[in-house]
Amino acid sequence: MTTAYNYVPVNKSGASSTLAFGVNDFGQVVGRYEDSTGHHGFLDSDGRFSTIDVPSASLTEALGVNDSGQIVGWYQGSTGSVHGFLDSDGTIATIDVPGASYTQISGINDSGQVVGIYYDGAGRVHGFLDTNGAFSTIDVPGASFTEASGLNDSGQIVGFYLDGTGEHGFRNTRGTFSTINVPGASSINATGINNSGQVVGSYHNGAGYHGFLDTKGTLSTIDFPGRSATEGMGINNSGQVVGWYNKTDAHGVAGTTAYGIFATPVHPPNNDPLFDRTYYLGCNPDVAASRVDPYKHYLTYGWKEGRNPDAFFNTNFYLAQNRDVKAAHINPLLHYERYGWHEGRDPSAQFSTNRYLEAYSDVKTAKLDPLAHYLAHGRFEGRMRFLSDAPPAADPLVNPAYYDKQIGLTPLPGVAGQQQAVVSYDAIGWQKGLNPDAFFDTNYYLSHNADVAAAHINPLLHYERYGWHEGRDPSSQFGTNKYLAAYSDVKAARLDPLLHYVQYGQAEGRTAFAPG
């Protein structure tokens, strides 16, 4: 069985060889590259490479990274001795197993536990687990060699061992070992495990080296297209895999140059409570037309393009309010789910994390993601949704005086009034059939665009982002295509025709053409 993946290269510019070893849930990749100056570790954040060199080391390899950005690996000192290291925000600490002549750290989980290998005084190789400085040896019973390569947040550990019958993969769950074997393979290395228990690694058979994925005992092969030498090394909770491949010569012999790979499943698991498939497809007709998996699209492209995964998580808002997340080039939705809500960050102007938790002590006591709770339960239970204190973006197509008159609000002066109207229309106004201005008719737009109505999304935002590009009309008073056809300057400048009319065209005496 072969799992279908989309492959992206992980290759450091100017390097003669690049190997990818570990990946976290934000898609950050660590590994090793070689160039004319030697062997170096690296961190790849969305294609932006940072070199990791332990000071005074002759070579460095980065093997694992967790969601806090902590990086582990090993380095060779000036005397040739090998040590493990932990890099926390650029501060590097050496980690050595007491009494060991050699220490290598291979993996780290989100609790900061690390695993790896060490050589004892007699030169025997053992796996180990380090929990806050407390070391414990990991030896598969009957094995002459054990290496611990990866671990997940539950403390499950994977690796490989050597005994009288060959080299095998293993999984250690709370001290109980189970062997991982691939039928027909002469050797198996298990190197990474995610929180779902999926194991990634590599094996060798008569046809060469192959990566593999073990999902609850079901094995599938990972082969980079057209190559006979592929090795899988790390896996994250989205099922994304990193590793490398070698090119082979005409005789099938693998060369010495390695090429890093980042593999995303063609059909990744969509168990994300903050991703609304119907909403995403309704807001993004180009994605719907392409027939690609919408969750995969958001993970790979959507967040970088400013698209939103649901009605209450605004990608651009989150990045604008959280410059540290933007600077790190990491997926804002995943950041919110893992850290943001714990830190009181708001997912959009339409939802306040702290206010929801303060209002509903049961959610706070259970330590639940407040937005996930609201989407799955709260809104159906009649719980209130509180607005963020952060100001929303202004929208020139929302006229405060016109809108507020419909609901009896007293308009606030200046910018505050505009923001009040924008928030109100987005939160409740459009659902009540209210209109943001005289030329956008909410009910007209929804009744003429069944896909938008079915997706239950803000019709004004849909028109501004997609509708006018597609020739949709905002009301019976304004014809999108007719306006663009009549005014070539607006069309040539690729301007939103309704926005142009409201801001300039009306004052210039231009005509708002009726549709048809």
pLDDT at 250: 40
- Report whether 387 contacts 351 (CB < 8 A): yes
pLDDT at 88: 95
What Rg, from alpha-carbon coordinates, does the chain have?
A: 28
Lowest mean pLDDT among 136-140, 361-365, 481-485, 490-494: 490-494
Identify the burial level of 219 via C-beta atoms within 10 angstroms of its C-beta, where 0-12 means exposed, 13-18 middle and 19 or more buried. Answer: middle
pLDDT at 300: 82
Based on the fold, state whether residues 354 and 290 are members of the same structural domain.
Answer: yes
Binned at pLDDT 50, 70 and 90, residue 108 comes out as very high
Based on the fold, state whether residues 274 and 259 are members of the same structural domain.
Answer: no
- Global pTM value: 0.66
Based on the fold, state whether residues 178 and 320 are members of the same structural domain.
Answer: no
Domain boundary among 226, 250, 265: 265
Question: Whole domain around residue 470: which residue ranges?
Answer: 396-516
pLDDT tens by residue, 214-226: 998 888 888 888 6
Which amino acid does the sequence have at 306? Answer: G
Q: Phi first, then psi: give them for residue 326, nearest 5 degrees.
A: -65, -40
CATH for 249: 2.120.10.30
Based on the fold, state whether residues 38 and 131 are members of the same structural domain.
Answer: yes
The yes-or-no verdict on residue 275 having pLDDT over 70 is yes
Cα distance between residue 30 and residue 73, in whole Å: 9
Pairing of strands 241-248, 218-222: unpaired
Based on the fold, state whether residues 146 and 215 are members of the same structural domain.
Answer: yes
* Mean pLDDT value across residues 222-248: 84
pLDDT at 393: 66
Based on the fold, state whether residues 194 and 304 are members of the same structural domain.
Answer: no
* Mean pLDDT value across residues 463-472: 91
The yes-or-no verdict on residue 137 having pLDDT over 80 is yes
246 Cβ neighbours under 8 A, 6+ residues apart: 209, 227, 229, 254, 255, 256, 257, 258, 259
Based on the fold, state whether residues 307 and 244 are members of the same structural domain.
Answer: no
Lowest mean pLDDT among 63-72, 405-414, 498-507: 405-414
- Report whether 268 contacts 290 (CB < 8 A): no
Based on the fold, state whether residues 146 and 224 are members of the same structural domain.
Answer: yes
pLDDT at 377: 93
pLDDT tens by residue, 276-295: 988 888 888 888 777 677 88
204 Cβ neighbours under 8 A, 6+ residues apart: 185, 186, 187, 210
Cβ-count burial 271-291 (b if 16+ within 10 Å, e if not): ebebbbeebbbbbbbebeeee
Based on the fold, state whether residues 71 and 178 are members of the same structural domain.
Answer: yes
pLDDT at 3: 63
Cα distance between residue 511 and residue 19, in whole Å: 61
Based on the fold, state whether residues 501 and 376 are members of the same structural domain.
Answer: no
- Report whether 269 contacts 25 (CB < 8 A): no
The first and second tokens of residue 140, run together, are: 């598969």
SS3 471: coil
The yes-or-no verdict on residue 392 having pLDDT over 80 is no
291 torsion bin: left (phi>0), alpha (psi -120 to 50), beta (else): left
Lowest mean pLDDT among 100-114, 288-302, 308-322: 288-302
- Report whether 197 contacts 180 (CB < 8 A): no
Average pLDDT for the chain: 90
298 beta partners: none
The yes-or-no verdict on residue 443 having pLDDT over 50 is yes
Lowest mean pLDDT among 164-178, 179-193, 302-316, 379-393: 379-393
Based on the fold, state whether residues 406 and 436 are members of the same structural domain.
Answer: yes
The yes-or-no verdict on residue 153 having pLDDT over 80 is yes
pLDDT tens by residue, 448-462: 999 888 877 889 989
Based on the fold, state whether residues 30 and 43 are members of the same structural domain.
Answer: yes
Cβ neighbours, 10 Å, residue 357: 20
Our CA angle for 62, 270, 19, nearest 5°, is: 20
pLDDT at 440: 97
Binned at pLDDT 50, 70 and 90, residue 253 comes out as very low
pLDDT tens by residue, 396-440: 899 988 998 887 766 666 656 777 788 788 878 898 999 999 999
Domain boundary among 241, 265, 289: 265
* Mean pLDDT value across residues 354-376: 95
Domain boundary among 222, 245, 265: 265
Binned at pLDDT 50, 70 and 90, residue 20 comes out as very high
How many domains in the chain? 3
Binned at pLDDT 50, 70 and 90, residue 254 comes out as very low
The yes-or-no verdict on residue 315 having pLDDT over 60 is yes
pLDDT at 389: 77
